[in-house]
Structure 1
């Protein structure tokens, strides 16, 4: 049900991919920019109509030119040392993604490493939170049957797999 993989999240044929978005939802660098480029200009147009998203939440759009049906734009927290509720805000991103999955009959999800890039959230800590929330949702009977945690580098893949092993 949960797989840690290395790859291009924009190439996955799943019901929804999650975008590590900024609060404007209008695109940016990293995975956010890659998703916007791959989805085409209609994604940005829809995101502009959505009107942004607060940190710790997520919004759903169509996938347009992506092989996935939907994009869930999750706005993770910027790391400020852990004293500004960053852990809870990140956990809320994952919870909201699963709520949207229920509402839109999504059976398969692919997550990037939310907040670990330019937002500087400590990688291992973020992965632990992600896996806790993923397993919590699945354990509570989520309709989601397949979750991919998609890593960009071999190093991140190995680190994420080590963290997953502690959940076994």
Structure 2
């Protein structure tokens, strides 16, 4: 695997097969709350999540990771928030900065979309992911204890978030007299 930094780009419809395989190949109770699927894997893109909701990482011309970045709700009052709703890195690409590059790209894309916050949920026992998110500025904002029963073990759902503004933002009317 190349030591070049990964190329990060938006997904395109032609990535569907590669992303579907990646999702299936990386499945683990460490991060998944749904049952394991066996090949042939279903389509990756759906009516709910399309190519523009995903940033993908390429190394040596191959898709080796993705991050799903979406609005958490359709409410106008929540339009300033983006949420990571999935991150996967191929086992062979781990340790090559792919996950970190995807998280950083999600932060930058969220800022480009004028979001003020970026949030995510991570399973309490997923120490590698939690350490990555913490290193990238995310903090624990809440814990839902024993939220999931996975492979016979109760697992916490950890809510994390980070601010995306530089402190210069003012609410409408702030400072006006």
Superposition TM-score, scaled by structure 1 size: 0.40
Q: Which has the larger radius of gyration?
A: 2
| Higher RCO (CA 8 Å, separation ≥ 6 residues) | 1
Structure with the higher fraction of residues in strand conformation = 2
Higher helix share: 1
TM-score (norm 2): 0.39
